[in-house]
Structures are given as C-alpha cells and as structure tokens.
Chains A and B, each alone.
Chain A
Amino acid sequence: MAFMGEIEAAVHLPPSAADPNRRKLEELARLGWYHSIELPDGQVIPGFQTIDDSRRRIGQFPVPSDLRGKRALDIGAWDGWFTFELERRGARVLAVDSTSVERFRIARELLGSQAEYRIDDVCRLSPAKIGYFDIVMFLGVLYHLKHPMLALEKVCELSTDMVCVESFVTDDGADLAAKPVMEFYETTELCGQFDNWVGPNTACLLAMCRSAGFARVQLESVLDHRAHIACYRHWPDIDSPQEPAPYLTSVENATTRDREFSSTNDDYVAIWFKSPRADLTPADVFPRIGPYGSHPVILHRTGGDGWQVNCKLPPGLPPGWHAATLRTTDSPWANPVRIGVDLSAEQRRQRPARAACDIRVAIVTDGKTWERNLVHTGLGSCISLWVSGLPESAARDGIAVWLDGDDLPATFLSEPDPQGLRQINAMLPSGALPGDYSVSAAFGDAISAPVPVRLA
C-alpha cells in the first residue's frame, strides 16, 4: 500500500474539487499502476512511481542484495514491486494486502513470480497463520492504521531478524529530541483521504518501534515527510569482550513476580544482576530473551554492585522455556536463567537436570516480621528460607519451595552470605489458609528435609 495509492479505496472526488492532490490523483488514474514494473524483456509498465523511485525507497534500508534461503514478508504489497525485488534477490516472499489488487496478479503472471499472495489485515496476521520471516517490509502502511502500536507489535512478532518500516511523519526528522507526538486524523485532514489515521513525528515513530519489542531501532533517513527505520531483533555480537560478564541473580515477571510470562499480555521481564561497572546507563545493558534482544525500559541500581533492568518480553517467542541473559557494552553474555512463556501443564513440569546436592534449611521466616518459623498470610506475603548446600551454579529459576506439596517458584535467590547461607524467597499462594505446614527447598532432583512452619 502506498501513500497516494488508496485512490481506489478512497472517496470518489468530484471533478470540480479544487484539491492540491488533484493532479497527482489524475496522473495516477491515467496510469492505473502505482509501481512501475520492469518485465523480463526489458519493457516497463509505467506507474506513478518510476523504477528509480522504488529503488531509492528500498535503498534507504540495509536490505542485503543476496537473500537466498531467506523468507520475506511484504505487507501492503500494492502492485508488488518490492515483492518482486525481494524475490529477485533470492528470497521466498509472501505478499499481503488488505484488498486484492488485480495489477499485482497481472505483474506476478508476467514475471513468472512464485510469490504467494494473501488478502488480510495486518492486525490479523500471526505466526500461526503465516509463519516467521527473516525480513519484513512494512512500507507506507502505518499511518493508515487506527492502532499503530498493535500493528508494530504484530510485525515484530512475525519477524526473526529485520523489519523495514517506512511511514509518513509530520516533521523532517531533524530534531530527534523533540517530544514524541502523534497527530490523529479523525476524517480527511491528511491529504483529503479518510483512510489516514495517524501522523507521528519522527521521535514518536522511533519510540513506538522501540516499544513494540525490537532490540535496536535505527533511523536511516527522512525524505519528504517519509521516515525510513530499520528495526532489528538482535544485538550485535562482541568479538573479543574486554569487560567481565555480569552475573544474573534473579529474573521475574515484573507484574506477577513469578517466572512465567504470557505472550498476549504486555509483560515485562525484570532482571536482577551484578556488574563490576558502576557507570551503567540503559545504553550499556543488552538483555536477551531466547534468541531476541530487548532494550532496557528502566535501569536502576539496587545497592552495591547490584542492578535491576526491566525490558519488554519480546513478541514472537513460541510457548516453552527460554533463556534470559544480558551483557554489558563489551562483556560476554551472563549466566542464562530460564523463563517460561505460555507454558503448557506438561512444560511447566519440565525441570532442568541438576547434579545431586545436600540442601538443608537453616531458617524459615517471612519478609515482614522476621519471626522464626512463622509466616503472616495476606496480600503480597512471602516465605523466606535460608539454606545451605546449594551448588555454586544454582540460579533462582531452578529452585522451588515446597509447601506441603505445593510447588512455589522461588522469586529471589541471594548470593551466599559469610556463613555460606543463601536466601530463597517465594510468594505464598493468595488463598493460603492459616495453619501448620512443612516446608522444604528443592533444586533439580535434590530436596531438603522438611522444616515446620506456621502460617498465621
């Protein structure tokens, strides 16, 4: 779909209307085609945009010239120039549009193209329907959508590497420190077309792309109120890291404080870690969940060499266990910690194999009163154990607290204190009834002897 390309879907303007786009529209109507298409014999179907125009548009993005073995998605394909260009570079391409464009079918036949063609709305696409793509073209679509964030999240979910976003913007991109603002077009305010809904400034478009869940968002250019943004799902690798690796002490769902996540919620991952660097800023921290990078939303010091960083759960993770880790500017990746996404009951039972160890519970208390072997129930109440015998490599995610047979996932695991004891916290279930229970700590196949505890 292209900027003025919606004439067919748009209102039928009366011939008398003194509209500044009149000439453009008439030219388009005369030519019929929006994209020009170069045929195998060298002939060109002339369109409103020349071949050079289209080449200039794709040239704004670092799209590799060799796409052999890659799967590509062209959203809003319109007459199909970008679809056929990606195919020419070797990709298997799926073209999607909101309405069937006869010219696309004609061009596909003339070119002998193998591109698939699907009619669907962008907000209704999903990996379950169409799979995943190495590269996604999202050109000239965003400002036609009523729910731009939803669309960017959908596009992020479908991509495994790079998305090229091109959109109308209200400014020239010179002031990236501008307040991120988006104009809203209730009717025909933008170019007399009623299917334009939003006009972000460049700062807003960049911020929305970041918030959609990409690791990195790179502004390539702004030409004539069109911003070109390359969005990446991965952090670059470090060849020979010079900094020591950070150490992850805990990973949690920032809302529920457990280690499970839902891909349909707007879930955030809270990562607690230790780093020898005292000068970290969000730009120095690179979280990674499964294969995807996710940029820091907030970063703060928790005291000493401890830090907390929150990032969005990246869209598109399949159900199952995924490793969360992070690195700093010039460090190797930290110890991975597993988190669960949309877990099935079967997956929830799966635990990592661990070496046998001798775990003992030294102290049971709660996080409020610190009375021994007594835990007060109520909203947000937690049970704290101080244990010995956990192996050095134990991370919070492999640890469970068993309360009379109830598996409470650990929400926190401290480093060993001078006596070699490590603190484990677990949230009490909200409906826990007062009474006498026994509690034990488990890691892998090892489980401690039970210790009595009273819930009050």
Chain B
Amino acid sequence: MPAQRAAGDPTFYELVQRQVALLSTKGWYHSIELPGGHVIQGMIGVEALKQRLAAFPIPADLTGKRVLDVGAWTGWCSFEMERRGAQVVAVDCVEFEEFREAHRLLGSHVDYRILDVDELTPDSVGLFDYVLFFGVLYHLRNPLLGLEKICAIAKDTAFVESFVTDDGSAPCTLEFYETNELGGQIDNWFGPTVQCAAALCRAAGYARVDLEYVSERRAGLTCRRRWEPPPPHPAEPPPQLYSAVNNRTNDIQFHPGKDEYICLYFRSDVPGLTRDRLRIDIDEYGAPALVLVNLRGQEWQANLRVPPGLAEGPHQVRLRTAESAHSNAFTILMQSPSPRGAGLIPRGASAPPAAITEPPPVIYEVTNGMTGSALFQGHRNEYVCCRFRTPEQSLDRGSVILQIDDADQPVLFLTDLGSGCWQANSRLPAGLKPGPHPVRIRTLRSDLSDLAEIVSK
C-alpha cells in the first residue's frame, strides 16, 4: 500500500480542522486532573494523555531528577513529571493562561518559562536528566537544529514525539510546508517520514535512537545520550585508538558552534567491523559514527560529529565494539579560536631541554598519510606519517621533534601504537623541491634517529 501523505490529503485536513473547532469550544488542550478528583476537560482526555506517556520508558519515580517539558501547552506532562517527583521546567513559545491557572489550582512548583527552542541552552535553562519534546519538531523551520539544542541540554534521554508522513516504510525524506499545506495550519514547516525522524535524532548527536511506536501519523522516539553498558565479559578485544583529530585541520582543537567532525584512527582485531557495532564515547556521552573505513589490515578510520553542547576544555574520546571493553582514551580540546599567533595546542610539561639519557628512536616507516606510499604529490592535504620505536614511555607532541631536510617541523599529533611503537604526523614544508628528502626524528631526551626518505614529485 502506498504511504498516505498528510499534506493535501482532504481527510487529514478535515481531521485537523475538526480538532481546531473542538479546541476553540474546549479552550483547554490537555485535560487536567485536580487534587479533589475533579477534571478540567480538555481536547485530549486524561486517559489518552496517560497512554501517550506510557508509550515511552519514562521512570515512574523521578525523585531527584530534573525534567524539561518543551512545548508544555496546558501542562499535563509537566504536572505529571512533577507528580513523579521531578524538578520540572516547562517551556513554551507563547504564554498559556490555562497553564498558569492549572499551576495555581494544583499548587505546582513547576518553573514556567516562555522561550523559543533556539533559546534553550545550558546557560539559559541548565542541564536535564530527561527532556520531553512532544509535538514540537514539525513546527520548526530548522528541525535538526532544534534536536541539537535539546541534545545539548539532555544528560540522559530525550523523548521525542512528532507528526510523521508515513507508517515507517517510506525512505528518509522531509516534506516542506511553505504555507498551510498541512492541515490548513501555517505553523507547520517540515514533515519527516518515520525513518527520517529517527535519522534526524541520530544526526543531532544522540548515541541510541529507539522507535517506540507509529500510530495515526505520530511517532514516538526515545533518544539516549549513552550507549548500553559494555559487556561484563567482553568477547572481543578492545580497539586501540591511535588518534582523534579535527578532520578539517588534522589538529586536536575543536571550536564551539562550528560544524566540525572528529576523525578517529584506530586498530581493531575484530574482522569485518561495521559502523553499527562501533560505540564511540566523548566523555560519558555516546556518539554514532557517520562513516567507518578500513584503511588497511586492522587499521580503521571512523568519522563522527562533535556532539552538541561540549563545554570548553579537554574531553576524552574512547571507543569500543558492541562486544569489547573500551579502548585507551585520546584527548581533544574544545576551545574558542585563539588570537592570531598564539599556540593552538597546550604543549606538554616537557618544554625545558633535558639531558640526553635515551637512545635515539628507530624509524621503521615513513609514508604520505593520504596514500600510504612514500611519494608526495604536493597536495595540500598530504601529511607525513612517521612511525618509530623508542623505549621512552611518556611522550607528548611537545617532546618529539621531526625534521625534514634538517628543518624542524611541528608535530601535529603523536600517538602510542603500543609495544614501544609510536606515530608522529607533520605537515610537509612548503615549496619542497622534487626529489628525495631526508626525515629524522628525535625526542627531547635523545639524539636524532637515522634518516628515512620521502620523495617529492
């Protein structure tokens, strides 16, 4: 059966118009149960409201939890969350007198704020354990931005309920409503398919997205910020993380507010690893990989979005498979752009020159990081990838010096490959003449290694 579409569908139009007429006679959208058992009858009955909420895995006991109700309208969900013990903030884009009245009648302590979704930030409302995002998504001109805003303030789970255009079988698309195509209302902008609603939630930065139900052109999704706990008895070996860098700059620095992507390089001995089996964590939050590529053998690359709402400062990146324990951690830095000329990356503590106490490193491979060969074409995105052995244990980028043609090159990143093996990457110096060029490496405590060679075309 072809998926029924709501826009331009007369039956749906009539349904919405009937609801609008009903609302104008009822005045209240949600019904509200008062302490004495009396019920203010709204357009949606108490049973229907309870049923909708029950479709989501929201704990019955919310004592000590902070809950945000976005698009609270007359407030049934807010008051229900409060009844379960939560400290609740209710937000709407316009003020409803009915909410205020119910608030008074119930003696509620819910904090009612008039804010647009775009105005919800950790600074304006703080962080929440749970966020209810019911009936809001399709009213937004930038639906993914709205989901990102919610993700940035949700510590645990966001429950998303939305109008959808199909029953779940249609491909991942959004209908766009320029005027009043959807139900004759002008405040509807985008209608996602069920698959698209789930994809938007994942793209917004949630680790796990579960579809709870699809019914009468509405879908419910549970969006969790954390992966399931790692298995108590891992069946697979943990991956080893080589590096985590900004894919625009190959640097560990990221910038608040920019659309940036983390590029992970790692080793995994799990054969045939797939994207859906990867579990990447930034601090305690999970983030799905957008792409997973096998570079060669057991070496892999995964790219992911920087999750929304990361505070300034260092953050730990780790990954695992569904059946493994966590890898080692790698630090990325969330930082506003530095003034011109200032160092982008804090150097390690090992700045002062030290006495030569260690043997020189031994280079066992130097390649063009883009191609894996020793040949460089002169493209901007090429970088030198130098792998070496050293008995030294605690190296950082500031304590390794890479030389090309006897000139020091800043090490863009350094990673411990394990078993005394390390990798240092640097840019190619500008204006390199065609032909072979020597590459050497040393640490602050060692002499220069023997030379290896790269070839510039």
Residues of A bordering B, CB below 8 Å: 7-9, 11-15, 17, 29-30, 32, 98-99, 101-103, 121, 124, 145-147, 149-150, 179-189, 194-195, 197, 200, 204, 207-208, 210-211, 255, 265-266, 297-298, 310, 379
A179 touches B8 (CB 8 A): yes
A179 touches B7 (CB 8 A): yes
Q: A9 is contacted by which of B171, B178, B247, B291 (Cβ under 8 Å)?
A: B247
24 A-B residue contacts at CB 8 Å?
A11-B247, A11-B293, A11-B301, A14-B293, A29-B377, A29-B379, A30-B377, A98-B259, A146-B145, A147-B144, A147-B145, A150-B141, A150-B145, A179-B5, A180-B178, A182-B173, A182-B175, A183-B171, A184-B196, A184-B199, A186-B203, A207-B178, A211-B141, A379-B97
- The answer, yes or no, to whether B176 is at the interface (CB within 8 Å) is yes
B293 touches A149 (CB 8 A): no
Q: List residues of chain A with CB within 8 A of the CB of B380.
A: 8, 32, 101-103
How many residues of B are in contact with the other chain, CB < 8 A? 55
A14 touches B294 (CB 8 A): yes
Give the shortest distance, in Å, between B179 (CB) and chain A (any CB): 5
Residues of B bordering A, CB below 8 Å: 5, 7-8, 94, 97, 116, 141-142, 144-145, 171-180, 186, 189-190, 192, 196, 199-200, 202-203, 247-249, 257-259, 261, 263, 275, 290-291, 293-296, 301, 303, 369-372, 377-381
Known: A12-B370, A13-B293. Is A211-B178 also a contact (CB below 8 A)?
yes
B248 touches A99 (CB 8 A): yes
Q: List residues of chain B with CB within 8 A of the CB of A15.
A: 371-372
The answer for the CA separation of A265 and B141 in the assembled complex, in Å, is 11
The answer for the CA separation of A161 and B171 in the assembled complex, in Å, is 38
Q: A194 is contacted by which of B189, B290, B379 (Cβ under 8 Å)?
A: B290
Q: Which residue of B lies closest to A255 (CB)?
A: B94
Q: Which residue of B lies closest to A102 (CB)?
A: B380
Q: List residues of chain A with CB within 8 A of the CB of B275.
A: 187
Q: Which 5 A-B pairs have the closest CB atoms?
A: A207-B178, A186-B199, A180-B176, A147-B142, A8-B381
Give the shortest distance, in Å, between A102 (CB) and chain B (any CB): 5
B172 touches A183 (CB 8 A): yes
The answer for the CA separation of A379 and B173 in the assembled complex, in Å, is 40
Q: Count of A-B contacts with CB under 8 A? A: 125
Known: A121-B259, A179-B8, A298-B180. Is A149-B303 also a contact (CB below 8 A)?
no
A184 touches B200 (CB 8 A): yes
Known: A12-B301, A184-B174. Is A121-B258 also a contact (CB below 8 A)?
yes
The answer for the CA separation of A101 and B380 in the assembled complex, in Å, is 9
Knowing that A11-B293, A99-B248, A211-B178 touch, tell me 11 more A-B residue pairs with CB under 8 angstroms.
Answer: A11-B263, A12-B295, A12-B301, A29-B377, A32-B379, A145-B259, A179-B175, A180-B177, A184-B192, A186-B172, A187-B290
Give the shortest distance, in Å, between B298 (CB) and chain A (any CB): 13
The answer for the CA separation of A401 and B258 in the assembled complex, in Å, is 48
Known: A188-B291, A265-B116. Is A181-B259 also a contact (CB below 8 A)?
no
Q: B291 is contacted by which of A103, A194, A210, A298 (Cβ under 8 Å)?
A: A194
B371 touches A298 (CB 8 A): no
Q: List residues of chain B with CB within 8 A of the CB of A32.
A: 377-380
The answer for the CA separation of A189 and B173 in the assembled complex, in Å, is 12
Give the shortest distance, in Å, between A198 (CB) and chain B (any CB): 8
Known: A12-B301, A298-B180. Is A184-B259 also a contact (CB below 8 A)?
no
Q: List residues of chain B with CB within 8 A of the CB of A266.
A: 141
The answer for the CA separation of A110 and B144 in the assembled complex, in Å, is 42
A181 touches B258 (CB 8 A): no
Give the shortest distance, in Å, between A200 (CB) and chain B (any CB): 7
Give the shortest distance, in Å, between B262 (CB) and chain A (any CB): 12
The answer for the CA separation of A266 and B370 in the assembled complex, in Å, is 45
Q: Which residue of B lies closest to A150 (CB)?
A: B142
The answer for the CA separation of A11 and B378 in the assembled complex, in Å, is 19
Q: List residues of chain B with CB within 8 A of the CB of A298.
A: 179-180, 186
Q: List residues of chain A with CB within 8 A of the CB of B291.
A: 11, 187-188, 194
A200 touches B258 (CB 8 A): no
Give the shortest distance, in Å, between A407 (CB) and chain B (any CB): 22
Known: A9-B247, A194-B303, A297-B186. Is A183-B180 also a contact (CB below 8 A)?
no
Q: Which residue of A lies closest to B140 (CB)?
A: A149
The answer for the CA separation of A379 and B28 in the assembled complex, in Å, is 14
Q: List residues of chain A with CB within 8 A of the CB of B372.
A: 15
A181 touches B379 (CB 8 A): no
Q: List residues of chain B with CB within 8 A of the CB of A200.
A: 176
Q: List residues of chain B with CB within 8 A of the CB of A207.
A: 176, 178
A182 touches B141 (CB 8 A): no
The answer for the CA separation of A179 and B142 in the assembled complex, in Å, is 19
The answer for the CA separation of A407 and B344 in the assembled complex, in Å, is 54
The answer for the CA separation of A103 and B380 in the assembled complex, in Å, is 9
Q: List residues of chain A with CB within 8 A of the CB of B370.
A: 12
Q: List residues of chain A with CB within 8 A of the CB of B293.
A: 11-14, 17
The answer for the CA separation of A9 and B180 in the assembled complex, in Å, is 39
The answer for the CA separation of A181 and B178 in the assembled complex, in Å, is 11
Q: List residues of chain B with CB within 8 A of the CB of A255.
A: 94
Give the shortest distance, in Å, between A348 (CB) and chain B (any CB): 21
Q: Which residue of A lies closest to B263 (CB)?
A: A11
Q: List residues of chain B with CB within 8 A of the CB of A180.
A: 175-178
Q: List residues of chain B with CB within 8 A of the CB of A179.
A: 5, 7-8, 175
